[in-house]
A and B are shown apart, each in its own frame.
Chain A
Amino acid sequence: MQVEFVGSRWALFWLALKTGFLTVITLGIYRFWMKTRLRRWYWSAIRPGGHPMEYVGDPIEKLLGFFIAVVILTFYIGIVNLLLMFVSFSVFNSSWVGYLASFAGVIPIWFYARYRARRYVLGRTRWRGVRFGLEKGAWGYAWRALVHWAITLCTLGILWPRMTFWLEKYRTDRTFFGSARLTQGGHWTMLYRAAVPFVLSLIATGALVIWLIWIAPLFPQMEGSVDGFVAGVEGFFTEEGPAAVAASPERLLLGLLCILGLIYGAVHYRWTAKRILANHKTAPGITFHSGLNSARIAMIYVLGVLISYLVLTFSVLLVILMGAAVLGFDSFLAWFGLGSMSAVGDWPRWVAVVLMGVLYLSAFLLWGVLYNTFVTFPIMRHMALTTRLPDHHGLDHISQRARDDFAEAEGFAEALDLGAAI
């Protein structure tokens, strides 16, 4: 069974623009509707066997969930942060310990919220009239994720694939389609394959560092050490000091190459791991096959972000030029606090502040719209079109599952700003 993908980029663009505009003029309240409508659109575009998926999430329940999360989190964030800051300043005389502790305190909630959000989205997804679902277990997920992260950090990332695998297995093994439970098969060591480009880039980076610092120093007059190298790089770019002369500085371009290699390696790992994991997921009588292409995904990211960035910059420039044309250049600059205040004239400052706010929010939302159009859309399409269900006779034995009543929807994820992804 193939998965089809229908719907045009422009239809999505207009939907995102329309809902984004409504979000701006409602000061963000409409974002719950925006998210719901975009999800409905994307879900209905993905059509396994020609039949659309359906998203039945309700904006009102999202808003409700957000309120519930605010009620619960406001006490945690307000009071706990205040106590942490107090202790931090009283005992350590600085704010950093407080910030760090307050950040660390949010991490378990973060994992909890992610699992809850996934449960909500799956609980509101249907295909052929049958519900998906995810079993309860958000706290179990949160503490497992913490332990896995601790192990991963302690082993300098060597056991990262083990974390990827076990966390995915935890989620997949609790996922249902109707009465059928999914199972994540395979073994965690199979994910090392996905890490090959990253590891190679890492080795290349290490080799380059050794070459530039010790074997054939980039700055021969500095001593062959890390400190000498850092001082040399500083001198090279500020053109000051004795280190300004470098031996074959074009070798620094290799460093850029290494950084790009590392970034590609990270993207490759993430998506290839997804593919491998998908190919080892099963339900009774159902198998999956994914042909996700990491290079393609990387290309989508690069082009999509580039296009979005260009369009955004162009639009902002256009607004500024239009503003300058309407108001006259000097008073325009003064308005936004770039010139002297005396030139402000009769316009009260709060008008400028409000306009500035609107401009800021619009740019932010335009970015979201463009990102949806040029990154999320092509990735969703690629994911859909590369997925197949080679064996699907198990569908004959599946029946409906009960509705997952879910008071706070994805409120925690929304309140903690995790909900950026569709």
Chain B
Amino acid sequence: MTGGLSPRAMDATGASYFDGDVPQPRGVTLALTQGQSLLEITLDDGRVVEWPLTEVRALPDISGRAQYVLRWTGDPLARLVSPNPFLLSALPQAKRRAPPKGRGRLIKWAVAAVAAVALQIFVLVPLLADNMAKFIPIEGEKALGEATFGHIREALDDTGLTPIDVCTAEAGTAALNELVTKISGDRAFRQDVTIAVLDHEMVNAFALPGGFVVLFRGLIEAADGPDEVAAVVAHEIGHVISRDPTRHALRSAGSIGVLGLLFGDFAGGAAVLFLTERLIAAQYSQAAETAADIFAHEALEDASISPAALGRMFENLQGEHGDRSGVAAHFLTHPAMGERIRAARAAVDPDGTYFPSMPDESWAALQNICK
């Protein structure tokens, strides 16, 4: 058979053809015709179907090696099922994939999905949360803070078994409460400030809804003196007053569900953990940080504690940890740190007289609050 134009018969034993209209297998005879560029399928009812060889594809991921399912790109429904491996090897483009369709539509919806999530997380949820924070009753705010505090204590524990401890040594607690009273002065807050120390080496502090101010043991250990702790407490009370934590907690409540939706089962848990970490890191807006700083300066000034302590605390942290991130992200990752240190220094009244924020024995007690 030298003439390329003469048909070449293929073994069609066990092969069947489905015409895509009725669920009836048709016996076939197969031949390659027209210079072996056309697959001629002759059905047992006399019909003849011709498939151009370059347009015949084998279906992928078929189980079992004994059978191939072939289709022609020009007919979405018809199928040729054949056990003949020689037929497959005669097809030049059997494995070629179908060109993707609807790609433009896909991209449109992908953009829409990203936009919807971004709109949700960056615009709608914050907007709603900020407004809700104004209307949430005191009791509800406190409950929200307690719930968040519980989550954070659980999340920080490495063993995952018990929440990390709250330090409650009597003398230290008394010293801390006295400090809060001193800083608060005669300001009328919406609610009392509740202060707690967590037994963890992280150099950090944060505020929670409902007037909770939480310090880590690591922060007390890293401080050079009681004034620096006082400065941090004053700063956090500043956040409490402006209700930054309430807004923040409500925002997370709205965002967690959306992230869970995006990442599904297995990454959803990770997303929630990530958000808890964000909550501790508490990256408030620059304006919120500045406002809290300004409050701290005033409160410290009124309590006759040098506002420069806040700047010293920042410097202290920066010097101790250099540029390493993560250790005290709350204070260190802020871009305007130098600016904030300068502002703290500028808040010092050159004619004012300042006293230590607490007597030495109280400071010693505070340092031992976790023992």
Contacts and interface: CB of A to CB of B under 8 A. Distances in A.
Contacts of B63: 6-7, 11-12, 41-42, 44-45, 52
8 contacts: A40-B61, A42-B63, A44-B63, A75-B120, A127-B23, A128-B23, A178-B23, A341-B201
B11 interface: no
A102 B260 CA distance: 14
A60 interface: yes
Chain A binding surface, main DSSP class: helix
B61 A89 contact: no
Given A54-B79, A95-B147, A129-B23, 4 more contacts: A41-B63, A51-B81, A89-B144, A178-B22
Interface string B61-81: 111101101000000011101
Contact of B258 (A40, A74, A129, A178): A74
Contacts, number: 189
Nearest to B158: A337
A209 interface: no
B121 to A, nearest CB: 8
A388 interface: no
B155 to A, nearest CB: 12
Interface string A59-88: 011011011101101110111011101100
Interface residues of A, number: 68
B129 interface: yes
A37 interface: yes
A90 B140 contact: yes
A360 B270 contact: yes
A8 B360 CA distance: 77
B257 interface: yes
A157 interface: no
| 9 closest residue pairs by CB, A with B | A7-B63, A129-B18, A6-B64, A82-B254, A128-B23, A89-B140, A45-B63, A40-B61, A67-B113
Chain B binding surface, main DSSP class: helix
How many of chain B's residues touch chain A, expressed as a range? 35 or more
Given A54-B59, A361-B266, A85 B109 contact: no
Contact of A130 (B22, B250, B267): B22
B253 A74 contact: no
Interface string B100-140: 11110110011011001100110011001100100111011
Interface in A5-59: 6-7, 11-12, 15, 28, 37-38, 40-42, 44-45, 51-52, 54
A351 to B, nearest CB: 12
Interface string B259-273: 011111111001000
B129 A82 contact: yes
Contacts of B142: 93
A337 B66 CA distance: 52
A44 B79 CA distance: 13
Contacts of B79: 54, 128-129
Given A64-B102, A64-B109, A37 B136 contact: no
Contact of A52 (B62, B140, B260, B262): B62
